[in-house]
């Protein structure tokens, strides 16, 4: 009885930020699939960040004496039909995908084209999904009909329509990725909101008189962040694949930017004489997409186990 009385009134300590980070990392390290995916992604991130250090040539410098060469000590991955070093172009191409968004030739924003496209689609899509799932009724009907109209177009066709209408540039590719990704994110957040809004802590917040805006962004969205973040990882992979597709179709970044899809498009004309010009950028796209997929799948499986 004395023990019970002694424990009455003792405050329950909340886990520190370091403890929360440690718990999150433990989920990551407990999944071999996620670790493999993380290693692949980090390889390309480091290659992009340190491209000036790990490469020996500028990506756009042409050498007429070294055209269509295979891997060698001078050019680790070979050269393309203009004599440009393939490793340099692959490494610097990763910057555009993951590290920087070139607004103009001299001005860029931190964060790659694929990253920004997915971030903006999550930002807008999550807002629409919260509005639709929290208020339901006519708000839900209007938002969902709008999203259904967008989803009626195949994704690649939507990309082609947007890029053909506004022109090929890094900014327009970001816009295309954003618009194409909004419906999927909104539908995911809507389904999560419909479930979370029935929880007791949401009802308690409503009883306290919390505003709708606070309910959505403080009570609901933080509790849906896990599935949304995992879905965003997968969408970055889809965006990278789409970026490569647009580059192959000539609707990606304008030359001479080291765009992976554009490299495949330029190299396929010489595939029988120099297959390396196609193999390396294709492997870059496929391995990065696979790495992101493995990371997302591993985190999703481990998160379900810890629930």
pLDDT digits (tens, 9 = 90+) for 6-36: 444 444 445 555 555 555 566 667 778 889 9
Total domains in the chain come to 2
Do 138 and 169 have their domain in common?
Answer: yes
- Structural domain contains residue 18: no
Long-range CB pairs of 35-40, under 8 A, 24+ apart, other chains included: 35/298, 36/291, 36/294, 36/298, 37/290, 37/291, 37/292, 37/293, 37/294, 37/295, 37/296, 37/297, 37/298, 38/291, 38/295, 39/291, 40/287, 40/288, 40/290, 40/291, 40/294
Do 92 and 124 have their domain in common?
Answer: no
- Domain final position from 166, 196, 231: 231
- Structural domain contains residue 176: yes
Q: What is the pTM assigned to this prediction?
A: 0.84
Do 123 and 227 have their domain in common?
Answer: yes
- Structural domain contains residue 25: no
Do 120 and 216 have their domain in common?
Answer: yes
- Structural domain contains residue 24: no
pLDDT confidence bin for 218, thresholds 50/70/90: confident
Do 124 and 71 have their domain in common?
Answer: no
**Structural domain of residue 53, as residue ranges?**
31-109+255-307
- Structural domain contains residue 60: yes
Is the separation of the CB atoms in 88 and 66 below 8 Å?
A: no
Q: ∠210-213-217 over CA atoms, to 5°?
A: 100
Is the separation of the CB atoms in 134 and 212 below 8 Å?
A: yes
Do 103 and 116 have their domain in common?
Answer: no
pLDDT confidence bin for 4, thresholds 50/70/90: very low
- Structural domain contains residue 43: yes
């Amino acid at each position: 009885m004395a023990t019970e009385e002694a424990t009455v009134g003792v405050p329950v300590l909340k886990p520190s930020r370091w403890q929360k980070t440690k718990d999150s990392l433990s989920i990551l390290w407990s999944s071999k699939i996620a670790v493999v995916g993380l290693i692949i992604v980090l390889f390309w991130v480091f290659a992009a960040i340190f491209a000036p250090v790990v490469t020996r040539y500028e990506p756009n410098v042409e050498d007429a004496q070294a055209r269509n060469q295979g891997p060698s000590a001078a050019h680790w991955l070979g050269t393309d039909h203009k004599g440009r070093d393939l490793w340099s172009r692959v490494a610097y191409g990763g910057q555009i995908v993951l590290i920087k968004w070139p607004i103009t030739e001299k001005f860029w924003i931190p964060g790659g084209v694929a990253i920004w496209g997915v971030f903006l689609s999550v930002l807008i899509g999550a807002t629409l999904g919260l509005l639709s799932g929290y208020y339901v009724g006519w708000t839900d009907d209007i938002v969902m009909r709008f999203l259904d109209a967008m989803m009626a177009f195949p994704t690649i066709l939507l990309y082609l329509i947007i890029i053909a209408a506004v022109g090929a540039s890094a900014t327009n590719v970001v816009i295309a990725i954003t618009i194409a990704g909004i419906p999927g994110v909104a539908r995911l957040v809507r389904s999560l909101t419909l479930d979370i809004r029935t929880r007791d802590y949401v009802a308690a917040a409503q009883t306290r008189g919390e505003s709708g805006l606070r309910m959505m962004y403080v009570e609901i969205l933080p509790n849906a962040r896990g599935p949304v973040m995992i879905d965003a990882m997968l969408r970055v992979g889809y965006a990278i694949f789409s970026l490569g597709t647009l580059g192959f179709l000539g609707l990606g970044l304008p030359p001479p930017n080291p765009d992976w899809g554009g490299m495949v498009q330029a190299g396929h004309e010489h595939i029988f004489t120099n297959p390396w010009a196609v193999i390396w950028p294709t492997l870059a796209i496929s391995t990065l997409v696979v790495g992101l997929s493995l990371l997302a799948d591993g985190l999703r499986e481990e998160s379900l186990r810890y629930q």
